[in-house]
Amino acid sequence: MTRDIAVVAFAQTDVLRTTDELSEVEMLMPVLHSVLDRTGLKTADIGFTCSGSSDYLAGRAFSFTLALDGVGAWPPIAESHVEMDGAWALYEAWTKLLTGDADTALVYSYGKSSGGSLRDVLTRQLDPYYVAPLWPDSVALAALQAQALIDAGDTDESALAAIGARSRRVATLNSHAQLRGSVPQGDYVVRPLRTGDCPPVGDGAAAVILAAGERARELCSRPAWIRGIDHRIEAHTLGVRDLTDSPSTRLAAERAGAFERPVDTAELHAPFSAQEVVLRKALRLDDSVRVNLSGGALAANPMMAAGLVRVGEAAARIHRGESDRALAHATSGPCLQQNLVAVLEGEPR
Amino acid sequence: MPEILKAPLVVEFPFTRSLGPVQSAFLTGLRERVVLGVTTTDGRTLVPPVEYDPVTADDLRDLVEVAPTGTVTTWAWNHAPRRGQPLTTPFAWVLVRLDGADTALLHALDAPGPDAVHTGLRVRIRWAEERTGAITDIACFEPYDGGPARLTGSTDEFADPVGGIVATARLDYTYSPGRAQTAYINSLADRRTVGERCPSCRKVYVPPRGACPTCGVPTAEQVEVGPRGTVTTFCIVNIKARNLDIEVPYVYAHIALDGADLALHARIGGIPYDQVRMGLRVEPVWTDGARYPDHYRPTGEPDADYDAYKELL
């Protein structure tokens, strides 16, 4: 069966460098209440709940189970979890709604990166035989990609600096962003990437509500209909890949229908400045498209939530009538290893 | 608000990982100073070798020797090496396409500074003095001015092949339990057990986590519970845990403290293990300097009626 499914509500926390005073569920709960309030739904009304988070950020096994206290998981609810960014939880929820088993879904994700050293923590997602024993951190791997782009003539250090500066400048309009306004480009972290090319490390959470068909129209005056969504991955061996390109993003975008008609807005999950260069090329985005008006991941990159935030930001622009057709992208893994693309549309006004 | 508790949390694990035929040959080769790649059905040579073609998903098993020399395909200068990385002095991360290979291997390059590194730089492997059959048998790469080094002529047949690696990992965290659990832990230091009441369903949760799992709303109202309680269910532990100085068998139980709507768990002492029962009334036993009860013991009261705790099983 075919059903139209839309994002009908979005909420996010302010992204902060540390949130020591809050447990994960304490950080998450205001966002859950906020997104429910926007639709008037109660937790008991939700047909399916799906979340994204990572035990490696928390340093504890099954950490997501404690967060379930925040959604009212008793009496038992239909619930699932992905050990990934919430954008992938949204994909699972979208699939669930497509089957007709549920009409509404709550999707949330969160990450408290402040508990550990994120650069070290992220090495544990790498190939454990050939790569992880060398402890190449997340900035180092992004720097290899940046140098490959510079060598290919696709960008240079000043162009990269401009991407970071633009992201933080537009983020002055985003009260949830962690870095806003002018930020020094700073010293090399791992050359050629400087502080300004790298995302801030922060804690945060996000939530969206999906609804199908007429239910979506009841819950939202202008639903952001998901016209297509797809996700693809690259070979995990970095040396097999062309780091200056992202064929998985291009394929996901094609399958999501992104190239059928132009989009007016794009929210790209590019944690490092050089990755925006790769994504713009893969997604064929020209200057007519408004890219990352939220400030993107260079202004706030809450691990496991930043991808879901991209979908939420794109949808919210449609809800507010500021966009008619938007592309949202989420990534995971080193050097844009995994990529998800969603195309969202509002009905003609 | 009182200060939120924080404590160091170290997560450390020595994962023992077994190797497939291709990985075993490659890592055994490194031990013997031989670099092996794997050839694909369309004639490419992948180094490091994998068991399945990332493009076609074909089974790959044909190993072939490549040179320990190669060319940098991209690099990044790491001026501040981190724990566990191959070199302790500033170095370049590099992807190196070894002579004879079509793909690149990630490793470290020992060079005097970023000005000495560029894409296209010729490099060679510097072997570790002690080699065990791991990627770290390559100590690093070093600049090398020359053509492809001669091959050893070795096949993929080695005596005593390695069958696995021990992938040790350590991550350091600073754990903070948040507001609700900080209040709980702090009250335990005063030998009081404090839960939180849900503003909606009025249930008292202990230990509190700041949220009611039934209503999905924040909890804040603190309620002192216990100290006495009722055993709702239990098990008999017969296996001694490492580093735990408790004689087996012993009983671990769920205990519904008086006034609480959720049972917590603790060890039962002061009674033979085979006499513990549902409904047994117990109280905490504190030891000097401890921040939580050592165990619970019988109070001597009559057993609680089943109906009094059946909702808390």
What are A103-130's pLDDT values in tens digits? 999 999 999 999 999 999 999 999 999 9
Cross-chain Cβ contact A136/B105 below 8 Å? no
Closest Cβ–Cβ partner in A25, A68, A131 for B210 = A25
CA distance B188 to B226: 12
B279 touches chain A (CB under 8 A): no
A135 touches chain B (CB under 8 A): yes
Can you give the pLDDT at residue B78? 98
- Kindly identify which residue of chain A lies nearest to residue B90, measuring between CA atoms: A190
Closest Cβ–Cβ partner in A20, A120, A124 for B82 = A120
Q: pLDDT tens digit string along A216-226?
A: 999 999 999 99
- pTM for this entry: 0.94
Q: What is the mean pLDDT of residues B25-40?
A: 97
User: At residue A3, does pLDDT exceed 80?
Assistant: yes
User: At residue B281, does pLDDT exceed 70?
Assistant: yes
Q: pLDDT tens digit string along A171-195?
A: 999 999 999 999 899 999 999 999 9
Q: How many other CB atoms sit within 10 Å of the CB of residue A320?
A: 10
Can you give the pLDDT at residue B209? 87
Determine the straight-line distance between the first and last CA of chain B, rounded to whole angstroms: 34
Which residues between 25 and 54 in chain B have a beta carbon less than 8 angstroms from any beta carbon of chain A?
27, 46-48, 50, 54
Can you give the pLDDT at residue A317? 98
Can you give the pLDDT at residue A163? 97
Q: Which residues 6+ apart lie within 8 Å of B288 measured at CB? A: none
Q: How far is A308 from chain B (nearest CA, A)?
A: 22
ipTM (interface pTM): 0.95
- Mutation for B interface: A37, A69, A149, most B CBs within 10 A: A69
Q: pLDDT tens digit string along A309-341?
A: 999 999 999 999 999 999 999 999 999 999 999
Q: How far is A69 from chain B (nearest CA, A)?
A: 4
Q: Which residues 6+ apart lie within 8 Å of A22 measured at CB? A: B178, B179
In Å, what is the CA distance from A252 to each residue of A235, A296, B136, B300?
15, 20, 36, 68
Q: What is the mean pLDDT of residues B280-309?
A: 94
Q: Which residues of A touch B141 (CB under 8 A)?
A: none
Closest Cβ–Cβ partner in B104, B119, B173 for A239 = B104
Cross-chain Cβ contact B23/A191 below 8 Å? no
Q: Which residues of A touch B171 (CB under 8 A)?
A: 56, 59, 116-117, 120-121, 124
A62 touches chain B (CB under 8 A): no
The alpha carbon of A177 is separated from its chain's Cα centroid by a whole number of angstroms, namely: 14
> Is-contact B194 B206, C-beta < 8 A?
yes
Q: How far is A60 from chain B (nearest CA, A)?
A: 8
Q: Is A278 helix (H, G, I), strand (E, B) or coil?
A: helix
CA distance B157 to B160: 9
Q: What is the mean pLDDT of residues B110-118?
A: 98
Q: How far is B75 from chain A (nearest CA, A)?
A: 5
User: At residue B295, does pLDDT exceed 90?
Assistant: yes
Which residues between 60 and 79 in chain B have a beta carbon less than 8 angstroms from any beta carbon of chain A?
73-79
Structure-token pair, residue B54: 């990332």
Among residues of chain B, what percentage have pLDDT more than 70? 99
B220 touches chain A (CB under 8 A): no
B223 touches chain A (CB under 8 A): no
CB pairs under 8 A between A and B: 190
Cross-chain Cβ contact B212/A130 below 8 Å? no
Higher-scoring residue by pLDDT: B215, A39:
A39
Can you give the pLDDT at residue A75? 84
Q: CA-based diameter of chain A, in Å? A: 58
Structure-token pair, residue B168: 């040790």
User: At residue A62, does pLDDT exceed 80?
Assistant: yes
Can you give the pLDDT at residue B1? 58
Higher-scoring residue by pLDDT: B250, B157:
B250
Q: pLDDT tens digit string along B174-209?
A: 998 888 999 999 999 899 999 999 999 999 999 998
Q: What is the mean pLDDT of residues A219-243?
A: 96
Q: What is the mean pLDDT of residues B276-290?
A: 94
Q: pLDDT tens digit string along B54-113?
A: 989 999 999 999 999 999 999 999 999 999 999 999 999 999 999 999 999 999 999 999
User: At residue A1, does pLDDT exceed 60?
Assistant: no
B119 touches chain A (CB under 8 A): yes
* Phi-psi label, residue A275: left if phi above 0, alpha if psi -120 to 50, beta otherwise: alpha
Q: pLDDT tens digit string along B233-251?
A: 999 999 988 878 888 999 9
B186 touches chain A (CB under 8 A): no
Can you give the pLDDT at residue A2? 82
Q: Which residues 6+ apart lie within 8 Å of A25 measured at CB? A: A66, A67, A69, A70, B178, B209, B210, B211
B242 touches chain A (CB under 8 A): no
Q: pLDDT tens digit string along A286-299?
A: 999 999 999 999 99
Q: What is the mean pLDDT of residues B263-280?
A: 96
Q: Which residues 6+ apart lie within 8 Å of B65 measured at CB? A: B29, B34, B35, B36, B37, B100, B151, B152, B153, B154, B155
